[in-house]
Amino acid sequence: MAARSGEQFLARLAAARVHVEIQGETLTGGVAEHPAFRNVIRTYADLFDLQHDPAYRDVLTYPSPTSGEPVATSFLVPKTPEDLAKRRQASKLWADRSLGMLGRTGDYLNSALMALGAAHDWFAQADPAFGQNIQHYYEKVREEDLLCTHTLVPPQANRAVPASQQAGGALMAHVAREDDNGVVIRGARLLATIGPFADELLVFPSTVLRATPEDQPYSFACAIPNDAPGLRYLAREPLDYGRPRHDHPLGSRFEESDAVVVFDDVHVPYERCFVLGDPDLCNGFYSKTSAVVHMTHQVVARTTAKTEYILGLVSLLTQAIGIEQFQHVQGDIAEVITTLETLRALARAAEADAAPNEFGVLTPAWPPLNTARNLYPRLYQRFPEILRKLGASGLMATPTEADVNGPAAADIETYLQSATLGGKERVRLFRLAWDTCISAFAGRQALYEYYFFGDPVRTASAYVASYDREPYMAAVRAFLDRD
Ligand X SMILES: Cc1cc2nc3c(=O)[nH]c(=O)nc-3n(C[C@H](O)[C@H](O)[C@H](O)COP(=O)(O)OP(=O)(O)OC[C@H]3O[C@@H](n4cnc5c(N)ncnc54)[C@H](O)[C@@H]3O)c2cc1C
Q: Which residues bind ligand X (CB under 6 A)?
A: 149-153, 156, 159, 190-193, 258, 444, 447-448, 451-452, 454-455, 457-458
Minimum distance between the CB of residue 192 and ligand X, rounded to whole angstroms?
A: 5
Q: Determine how β-strand 19-22 pairs with β-strand 231-235.
A: parallel
Sequence length of the chain is 483
Rounded to an integer, what distance in angstroms lies between the CA atom of residue 121 and that of residue 135? 9
Nearer to ligand X, 70 or 103 (CB): 103
Identity of the residue, 149 or 296, whose beta carbon is nearer to ligand X in the bound complex = 149
Give 155 or 399: the residue with its C-beta nearer to ligand X: 155
Our CB check for ligand X shows the closer of 400 and 459 to be 459
Q: Which is nearer to ligand X, 251 or 399 (CB)?
A: 251
Do 250 and 432 form a contact (C-beta atoms < 8 A)?
Answer: yes
Give the separation between CA 190 and CA 202, rounded to whole angstroms: 12
Cα–Cα distances (Å) from 292 to 116, 161, 245, in that order, read: 10, 27, 35
Give me the sign of the Cα torsion angle 374, 377, 381, 386.
Answer: positive
CB of 166 to ligand X, least distance (A): 11
- Nearest approach in angstroms of CB 258 to ligand X is 5
In angstroms, what CA-CA distances link 359 with 70, 79, 123, 134, 455?
A: 24, 11, 12, 14, 29
Instruction: Kindly state the smallest distance separating residue 229's Cβ from ligand X, in Å.
Output: 22
Taking the complex as a whole, the smallest distance from the CB of residue 225 to ligand X amounts, in Å, to 17
Smallest separation, CB 254 to ligand X (Å): 13
Q: Rank residues 159 and 477 by Cβ distance to ligand X and give the closer one.
A: 159
Q: How far is CA 104 from the centre of its chain?
A: 4
Asked whether the CA dihedral 366, 369, 374, 377 is positive or negative, the reply is negative
Residue type at 392 in one-letter notation = A
Please tell me the distance from the alpha carbon of residue 335 to that of residue 418, in angstroms, as a whole number.
Answer: 25
Compare residues 151 and 339 and give the one whose CB is closer to ligand X.
151
Nearest CB to ligand X, comparing residues 260 and 343: 260
Of 302 and 426, the one with the shorter C-beta distance to ligand X is: 302
Q: Residue 362 pairs with which residues in a beta bridge?
A: 356
HEC profile of 462-477: HHHHHCCCHHHHHHHH
CA dist 103 and 358 (Å) reads 29
CA dist., res. 477 & res. 483, Å (int): 12
**Which residue, 428, 446, 294, is CA-closest to 357?**
294
DSSP for 80-136, please give it: SHHHHHHHHHHHHHHHHHTTT--S--HHHHHHHHHHHHHTHHHHHTT-HHHHHHHHH
| Shortest distance (Å) from residue 89 CB to ligand X | 25
- Taking the complex as a whole, the smallest distance from the CB of residue 458 to ligand X amounts, in Å, to 6
Nearer to ligand X, 118 or 148 (CB): 148
Nearest approach in angstroms of CB 162 to ligand X is 10
Q: How far is the CB of 163 from ligand X (least distance, A)?
A: 10
